[in-house]
């Protein structure tokens, strides 16, 4: 059976408003990793999204990392909301879901918000069940497709291979988690705080860039207080 394919999504903040997120928190670009540029990001920050190229070097690292965690284990809080990605090109939407779901205590939604209902209904499902639930959610798919068509660059065709991938970093129970639906589990990157989340997440993002020093296609977006 063919997996579902969605149009690739840019980091489009309007998408969140269309899903019923009230603008008390907003997505904004992070223009660089130097301390003076990080100081320009409004605080507090509750999530970071990284868009990066999936290269051979990254795939090799990913396999090593998964094998190491499977053999050594890791601590994962039961509070972590994590979903698998089974829909091709849906990593942008899944990244946004991970950012919102793991900060539900801070965010405000319209009473009839599509996203609020999705997060509530899927909260207690397994990562695989969450993925299946998203496959069946027409309202989020339609909003995603509309937003992808509205992006600033021309949307590629459904058949085009996209080698860029969105992942999310969030502070859950005082630990920095990497949430990537292509991985079998969340990755615990160690201690963090509400105040240091941006800098701690940037530290991990730098390792992505160091693995592929010739690559320039990295984009950072922060979910921050308006």
CATH number of the domain at 155, please. 3.40.532.10
Candidate from 43-57, 74-88, 140-154, 187-201 with smallest mean pLDDT: 140-154
Residue 6 lies in a domain: no
Residue 159 scores a pLDDT above 60: no
Is there a domain that residue 7 lies in? no
Picking from 75-89, 146-160, 163-177, which range would have the lowest pLDDT averaged per residue?
Answer: 146-160
Residue 157, in any domain of the structure: yes
Residue 2 belongs to some domain of the structure: no
Tell me which of 46, 91, 175, 205 is the catalytic residue: 91
Query: 173 with 77: CB under 8 angstroms?
Result: yes
Residues 6+ apart with CB under 8 A from 157: none
> Active site residue: 165, 175, 205, 224, which one?
165
For 22, the token pair is: 């009230």
Sequence-distant (≥ 6) Cβ neighbours of residue 81 within 8 angstroms: 98, 101, 102, 119, 123
37 against 14, higher pLDDT: 37
Sign of dihedral through CA atoms 205, 89, 46, 183?
A: negative
**39-53, 66-80, 130-144: least confidently modelled range:** 130-144
In whole angstroms, how far apart are CA 157 and each of 90, 93, 172, 173?
14, 17, 36, 40
Active site residue 91: yes
Query: Above 80 in pLDDT, residue 194?
Result: yes
Examine residue 9 and state whether it is found in any structural domain, yes or no: no
> Which residues on adjacent β-strands are paired with residue 221?
29, 49
pLDDT value at residue 197: 98
Query: Read out DSSP for 13-61?
Result: THHHHHTTB-TTEEEEEE--SSHHHHTTS-S-EEEEEEEEE--HHHHHH
In this prediction the pTM is: 0.89
CA separation for the pair 23, 15 (Å, rounded): 12
| Residue 5 domain flag | no
**To 5 degrees, how large is the angle CA 42–CA 91–CA 121?**
85
Is residue 1 assigned to a domain? no
* Full residue range of the structural domain in which residue 187 is found: 14-225
Residue 124 lies in a domain: yes
Average pLDDT, integer, range 151-166: 56
Q: How confident is the model at residue 191 (pLDDT cuts 50, 70, 90)?
A: very high
Q: Are the beta carbons of 113 and 19 closer than 8 angstroms?
A: yes
Q: Which of 48, 23, 133 is nearest to 85 (CA)?
A: 133
What's the number of domains the chain is made of? 1
Cβ atoms of 38 and 202 closer than 8 Å: yes
**Greatest extent of the chain over all pairs of C-alpha atoms, in Å:** 50
Mean pLDDT of the chain, nearest integer: 87
Please check whether residue 128 is in contact with residue 181, taking contact to mean a CB–CB distance below 8 angstroms.
no
165 is catalytic: yes
């Amino acid at each position: 059976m063919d997996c579902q394919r969605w149009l690739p999504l840019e980091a489009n903040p309007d998408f969140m408003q269309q899903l019923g997120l009230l603008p008390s928190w907003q997505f904004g670009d992070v223009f660089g990793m130097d301390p003076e540029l990080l100081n320009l990001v409004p605080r507090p920050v509750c999530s970071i999204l990284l868009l990066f190229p999936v290269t051979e070097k990254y795939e090799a690292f990913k396999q090593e990392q998964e094998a190491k965690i499977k053999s050594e284990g890791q601590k994962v809080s039961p509070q972590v909301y994590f979903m698998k990605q089974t829909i091709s090109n849906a990593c942008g939407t899944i990244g946004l879901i991970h950012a919102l779901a793991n900060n539900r205590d801070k965010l405000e939604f319209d009473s009839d918000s599509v996203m609020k209902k999705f997060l509530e209904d899927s909260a207690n499902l397994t990562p695989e069940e969450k993925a299946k639930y998203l496959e069946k959610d027409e309202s989020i798919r339609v909003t995603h497709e509309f937003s992808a068509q509205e992006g600033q660059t021309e949307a590629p065709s459904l058949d085009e291979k996209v080698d860029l991938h969105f992942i999310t970093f969030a502070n859950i129970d005082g630990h920095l988690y990497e949430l990537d639906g292509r991985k079998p589990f969340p990755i615990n990157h160690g201690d963090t705080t509400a105040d240091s989340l941006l800098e701690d997440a940037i530290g991990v993002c730098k390792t992505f860039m160091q693995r592929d020093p010739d690559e320039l296609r990295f984009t950072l977006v922060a979910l921050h207080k308006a």
